[in-house]
Chains A and B, each alone.
Chain A
Amino acid sequence: MKPPIFDYATPASVAEAIALLARYEGEAKLLSGGQSLVPLLNMRLARPAVLVDLARIAALDWVRVADGVVAIGAMTRQRTVELAPEVQERHPLLHAGLQLIAHPQNRNQGTIGGSLAHADPAAELPALAVALDASFEAAGPEGTRTVAAADFFLTYLTTALAATEILTSVRFPMLPARTGWAIQEVARRHGDFALAGVVAVVGLALSGAISRARVVLYGVGATPVRAAAAERLLEGHVADAALLASASAQAAADLEEPLTDVHASADYRRDLARVLVGRALAEAMTRAHAA
């Protein structure tokens, strides 16, 4: 378990990093925490010509909570965001989601941008981004652009980022008033990638009916999966047990064939999705009523 030979670069700026990506023409790999990449290197499953380590780019390490948004520099460690008091206070869903990522040791190394750009479909951050309509800022040779979360995750481990682009920051909108949330997952062990997980957000109208529902599943598809039909079932209705049951059944039924692996079959993942959507919606409703 030793990697083959590679070059190693430590750019001090985003521009320098982009120049390296351009120079190596797709043979470069960005190192931004290394919690997934380093094992791939050691197993010789990834064989980049150069490793571009973003750790020295101080301009990518920041958290700002203002204007209804938690904005985070891509190289900010997950643990830094998790421990930021203003995140804990003003974005409890993001805080709760961060706590489900692996273990504190991993979150001390792993970065927000690294996890999002790696785009593991069983990871929490991509699902949170989709559920919250996050937006991503990417920098490339042509300048910067903004990508909506809905357009960012293309398929398994693949994003809308070009080979010469770097994810520089992400903006997570805070939740409005009269809105409840929940994030629930089932994993083999505490801290493992989820067999299935769900982020649920529900907003209530003054009437008590659900004005807005957002249900995003993870671990059950090639990307985070929005349960759009289930959301439509919920919106405009007062939630009761029957409604939540039909919404969760809808969400599970709409899934394309989930992954089968050594831990869970597609059928088991689909059934977990059903159970978890129901539970998460119930939990989110409780919070919405309390909010």
Chain B
Amino acid sequence: MSSAEKAIPRSLAEIPNSRPRYIGRPTNRLEDPALLTGRTQFIDDVVLPRMLHCAILRSPHAHAKITAIDTSAAEKLAGVAAIVTGEDARRWSNPVMTVPPGWGTHCLAIDKVRFVGEPVVAVAATSRYVAEDALELITVDYEPLPAVVDARQALAVGSPLLFEENGDNVMFRKLFTWGDVDAAFTDAAHVVQRDFRWHRLGANPLETFGVISQWDEVEGTLTCRGSFQAQNHFAMSRAMVFNLPLHKVRFISHPHGGSFGGKGGARGTDITALLSRKSGGRPVKWIEDRMEYLAGGASQAWDRHYDAALALDVDGKVLGFRVRLLDDLGATAEGWGAVSAAKPLTAFTGCYAIPAAQYDLTIVATNKLPGSPYRGMGPPPHNWVLEQLMDLAARELGLDPAEIRRRNFIPPAAFPYTIASGNEYDSGNYEATLAAALAMGDYRALREKQARLRSEGRYLGIGLVTTIEPGVFDWNAYAIVGQPGTGVPEGATVAIDLFGKLTIKVGFALEGQGQYTVAAQVLADWFNVDIADVRVIPLDTLSAPPHFGPGGSRLGVAVTGAVLGAAQRLTEKLIAVAAGLFRTTPDQVELRDGRIGVKGNPEASMPFQEVAQAMLGRSDLLPPGIDPNPEATYVWTAPGRTPADDQGRAKSYLTAANACHLVVVEVDVDTAQVRIEKYWIADDCGTRLNPASVEGQTQGGVAQGVGAALLEEAVYDEDGQLRTSTFMDYLLPTIYEVPMTVKQALCTPSPFAPLGAKGCGEGAMHATPAAILCAINDALAPLGLEFREVPASPQRLWTLLRQARRDR
């Protein structure tokens, strides 16, 4: 296309429709009828001819040498078609790519195992039952090695080493300094410093990972169907693992039951690919069960030890913010977990104008499950540390938690605003969001109620936090931990068929967030048609335009940009044809409210569909040299992104959404139970493309935030055995634990993003754990207690309360 191509519309007023019906209005999701009637085809519903089923034998040891593997009895079991071990993996594949590089293994353990649940042997058989029977016939001899389970011990001299060849367990270490942080702390009137511990927890989508891999030895190709969050990303990794050209790897992502960051199952995909190859090209299905997911899947993230400090002047203005983070990534860096330690750079100082900051980051390996991405990708623990320190500073200075935040907000006039760690916030009005939350909850009345109940011996806590949700992720944020790149493309192809209906072809599968609906809303409003006239079709990696898919709160914004760009290009094509039909020049023709006609002459117009029909069925009417294909593709990528400098500073995530959470909890100091009484959220994510979906994302984020704050924890004992291997022990929040929140929407549009929309998919997970922990600490304040661990389990709270009882 020419360089004169129009910019992507940044407001609804710029689209060629005077009466848009869908964008910005709660819109029923196109995805839902099939989901609600059980007709959506998930990967476990897919049955291919001659398909085999895989079961995986996993390590019972946290750290051990493999001295012998005997599969001979299993090979003789009727129904077993193929068995693969680390030797097959070594022969046919490469170690998986990792971030940071050099901390990965093959999909099946070779020589030694590094965590409980690591795949060691895999079987393909005629059914999963037979495959699991076969596992019982396999013997693996181990020579146990000392395991290191604690991140601090992993740093100690003489610690067991996960990768001996690397010399120590330090996967990554860097000190980032932004501004004169030493001066800030030297000049401070107050310094508030604390340690914090966020224990391992992670994503638990309704559906675990599943895949069917098929190796074609004749064509030299690999085809994988599965629940991949980012199909193209996994296809690229497989091309590297199996030394295949990328166009010989086809990934077909199926609808999946949620992801929250880690859906993709690299090991399971590689293992089934090996089994398919060894069984002569039969398709091999593996459906990860929940116990496999909890012990060996994408279920764990953010195992963190923090030591952090705020420097403040006499008025409570924050001068500097220091964070030292020891991040325990587990056995390898295969799960993209390290990017979660890098992402906090994109909103390091939260909603506040803090001129100087420092991030002393160390990522270590231990004998636990490799960490995976999880909704929010790292900022949720970071936000908790920052917000809790703000509360503690307020207490030290005698300020209200609302007031100290107000004094430090980036003011509305300062946007776009570059924070100390280098990212640029597009827009915001944090004071308005705070004011809305305080008004909704009647903050003053809450404080009065709190005082009244305290006199009755009850401990109410009020949590008030303000956070940023960075939206529309960019690879540049992850450059510092070894993930190169600037810009993340998302493509869409828009077409009109002979009967005048519209199709959008995209490169991502249904995952639950409702982005097909967003795409259809945009196109329906662009051409002024009923949304039922638009169909969204997902394509595989070899058919779709360049794409990434969901991740980093990007896809709603990105697909809007792609559909707008494609619609704009398609409109230019229609106009070129229509100009011929109307015997005028293209600059005299426009699309308006679904009709294409001559500007200023309402008589000379026709429905846009008729122009497309002429392109497909009346070549005799077309101007010479015209492209007769009523279809156009556009690949959107965030404008203005920059590569990171040596301190990690970059224009990275395109948008900065803002929320204020206000929560009231009651702590039963005798039983150590925490009950959430009421929850309010004021939220500003710019233009809400589908407000109904934003509402769902927010409430879902609250649910996961409640789980993180109070319930969820992957517990390993000192030998590295996982003690939370089922949902009896790894506790997810249920409808009884999650409050329905009272919400208010504010709108400060993004000046940079399509239609002014900001990323909001990671939602309330950014703020909820911080809000609940701040509330608990507010409740405990009159007892002189501070609680600085996540989750705030009753056992931990009781231990603290009992200690206080004894001390009194």
Contacts and interface: CB of A to CB of B under 8 A. Distances in A.
B497 interface: no
Contacts of B802: 267, 271
Interface string A98-126: 00000100000000000000000000000
B670 interface: yes
Contact of B794 (A4, A186, A190): A186
Given A2-B129, A262-B729, A263-B729, A275 B734 contact: no
A276 B673 CA distance: 12
A268 B737 contact: no
Say which size band chain B's interface belongs to.
Answer: 20 to 34
Interface in B667-686: 670-673
A205 interface: no
A264 B794 contact: yes
A3 B127 CA distance: 12
A191 interface: yes
A195 interface: yes
B673 A186 contact: yes
Interface in A243-280: 261-265, 267-268, 271-272, 275-276
A238 interface: no
Nearest to B128: A2
B795 interface: yes
A3 B795 CA distance: 35
A271 B291 CA distance: 32
Contact of B670 (A43, A265, A275): A275
A44 B672 CA distance: 36
B31 interface: no
Contacts of A268: 672, 794-795, 798-799
Contact of B671 (A190, A262, A272): A272
Nearest to A3: B129
Contacts, number: 61
Contacts of B133: 4-5
Interface string A202-224: 00000000000000000000000
A276 B136 CA distance: 45
A58 B136 CA distance: 39
B715 A186 contact: no
Given A186-B794, A268-B794, A262 B715 contact: yes
B795 A263 contact: yes
B711 interface: yes
Contacts of B724: 262
Contacts of A1: 132, 289-291
Contacts of B734: 103, 189-191
B711 A264 contact: no
Contacts of A39: 726
A234 to B, nearest CB: 20
Contact of A189 (B289, B290, B733): B733
A215 to B, nearest CB: 18
A43 B291 contact: yes
A131 B88 CA distance: 61
B736 interface: yes
Interface of A: 1-5, 39, 43-44, 103, 186, 188-192, 195, 261-265, 267-268, 271-272, 275-276
11 contacts: A1-B291, A2-B129, A5-B129, A189-B734, A191-B734, A192-B731, A262-B724, A263-B729, A268-B672, A268-B794, A268-B798
Given A1-B290, A190-B736, 15 more contacts: A1-B291, A2-B128, A2-B129, A2-B132, A3-B129, A4-B136, A5-B133, A39-B726, A186-B794, A188-B711, A189-B731, A261-B729, A263-B794, A271-B802, A275-B671
